[in-house]
Structure 1
């Protein structure tokens, strides 16, 4: 595509061989607030309007939102409903995009792929529809970032430009995240790999004229627990004159593989008033951000609030939030916490004479070979390798194969880190 080779035949093939929207089943979605109720939209301009925003692009004229119209029609100036965020938006202009050329349209019909100007809060994956006939189309699922680096502007002038650049790029790319480290105050950017972040940093320099210093890539580790613990109690009692702070919380904590965080309320008999249940949950959730082993986010745990005590005068939402937070930390330390690392699916295409070298190198990186197959005069090696072992792999692969091998890599899953490496990570984080 970069050299404009083969683009036209490929697009012709799309038209000639892929099915027309009229030849495929109607698009399905769900009713807002009722995920089990399926709604259908046919590719017909007489149907209620429904579209999916699939791409956001920063533009000198404003934020361009690319969307595909699945049913109905929409006119420029119309008010549309973002059913994903439950907000109304105004469609200022409709543009038909052709490379770097654009044509203003008065209306977009079912089957059209267009760009809209004027949306304020629409993000990638949001559904746009008729408010009187709301629907939520199937969302795109984006993987969590697996690598992050600290980034700092070179000068004060770059500080403001960096903020605008990061906001614009994160709007465009849902897999690119920006946050501020609470301990160091540094700006941290996260993405799907070294190359992903390198490209984004390069765009900051080219498109936004930002000169910035980028730190060494860091792996986005996670923490979880491997053992169930029951009735772990934390008493938050402070008396400093006047009204004090009082909250007693008892929780069960157990692994919740693949289901994220879950909170269950089993309080009965008014042992904890209803207004203190949610603050307790919020306290536990705030503790998830900093795991007990090395401060990495904790995932896949189920917390059950089983008992507690309160005081008519000294109890408050803040007291129960602190008690929930500390009860979780106490329970997590007892529940055999472990560190999880991102595992990447790696595919290497190499001439046969370098096969042994490639396989040996992957094994030395704690890789697990999943399969090998011949592809013409080359061999394809598939393996799962920890991300922490893949830094610099591109250079090493070129060196060992005289530049004749290529590879692709994508996130596969999180797995428990081996004990000896976990110990090294904890020592490094704690500065031991």
Structure 2
């Protein structure tokens, strides 16, 4: 109801102000409010605060992972935007390459680089920023599964313009359409967030817990013994951690604890990438109904 929506808006406004890692957005397809944070536990705390402090009866769906789409090879583009209507038309033409950024950007931020090597006024100087803006505007939704694009460099090398029909908007539209249509040629892959995890358990449960972490596509980096306690350090994909606190409690008779923080983005294995794409398409179809 309206009153509940107002209270929810107030809660979200306060939480986003208090905590920069807590974010909120509206799903355009379903109208649902989405909240994003550093992990399942982080979000559970805020949902509980909404209920307790703001008396908002929220229904919570299953958590979803924020994947990224990244190129793996260079692709050349030669793209023309031409539209003729009654009066003046629209014209823009850009030529260049989409390249892969080096993988030292493991934060998985929305990393994008733009470089222009256009010479001799082939594209007027005032339209170069329009091309960059058009590319940037297309980064939020990649073609594989609609996730943000990262790790991309767009090189603008050449192009052409029309004295009357070219404009800032024509070059923006041209670049937007170009990235949407040509990005698939970079053979893009999905990247997933990987968490750094530290687990403390009594030594008698160490083998069970370590084995179970490996079954979640986890990687054990180090194990340390202190008295009758073992500390296991590792990495695990965020997608495999949902429900982990409950599972760890049952494996260790309630004696195991863990902490988790974001580490980096890593390429999703091919078989799992196909599953993610299918699931994403299914949810988009449901949202469109």
Q: Deviations over 1:376-400 (max 9, x none)?
A: 2111111111010011111111111
Query: Which of 234, 237, 243 is the matching residue for 1:392?
Result: 243
Match of 2:185 in 1: 334
**Structure whose alpha-carbon radius of gyration is higher:** 1
In the aligned structure 2, how far is the partner of 1:186 from the partner of 1:281?
Answer: 32
In the aligned structure 2, how far is the partner of 1:321 from the partner of 1:214?
Answer: 39
Relative distance call for 1:224 and 1:344 in structure 2 (3 A) is same
Match of 2:108 in 1: none
Instruction: Count the aligned residue pairs.
Output: 277
Relative distance call for 1:171 and 1:407 in structure 2 (3 A) is same
In the aligned structure 1, how far is the partner of 2:136 from the partner of 2:150?
Answer: 10
In the aligned structure 1, how far is the partner of 2:203 from the partner of 2:189?
Answer: 40
Match of 1:429 in 2: 280
Q: Which stretches of structure 1, 4 residues or more, deviate above 4 A after TM superposition?
A: none
Matched ranges for 1:264-279 at <5 A: 264-279=115-130
Match of 1:36 in 2: none
Assess if the C-alpha contact under 8 Å between 1:251 and 1:327 holds in 2: no
TM-score (norm 1): 0.62
Question: Which ranges in structure 1 are unaligned for 5 or more consecutive residues?
Answer: 1-154
Query: Which of 39, 44, 54 is the matching residue for 1:193?
Result: 39
In the aligned structure 2, how far is the partner of 1:365 from the partner of 1:348?
Answer: 14
- Normalized per residue, the structure richer in helix is 2
In the aligned structure 1, how far is the partner of 2:33 from the partner of 2:131?
Answer: 30
Match of 1:305 in 2: 156
Superposition deviation, residue 178 in structure 1: 1.4
Query: Which of 49, 74, 94 is the matching residue for 1:249?
Result: 94
Q: Secondary structure at the match of 2:59?
A: strand
In the aligned structure 1, how far is the partner of 2:44 from the partner of 2:88?
Answer: 54
Match of 1:31 in 2: none
Q: Secondary structure at the match of 2:222?
A: strand
Task: Work out whether 1:236 is the aligned partner of 2:78.
Answer: no
In the aligned structure 1, how far is the partner of 2:243 from the partner of 2:201?
Answer: 18
Superposition deviation, residue 180 in structure 1: 2.2
In the aligned structure 2, how far is the partner of 1:203 from the partner of 1:291?
Answer: 34
TM-score (norm 2): 0.92
In the aligned structure 2, how far is the partner of 1:165 from the partner of 1:294?
Answer: 31
Query: Which of 210, 224, 234 is the matching residue for 2:70?
Result: 224
Task: Work out whether 1:284 is the aligned partner of 2:135.
Answer: yes
Task: Work out whether 1:167 is the aligned partner of 2:7.
Answer: no
In the aligned structure 2, how far is the partner of 1:184 from the partner of 1:197?
Answer: 20
Q: Which structure is higher in RCO with an 8 Å CA cutoff and minimum separation 6?
A: 2
- Normalized per residue, the structure richer in strand is 1
Q: Secondary structure at the match of 1:219?
A: coil
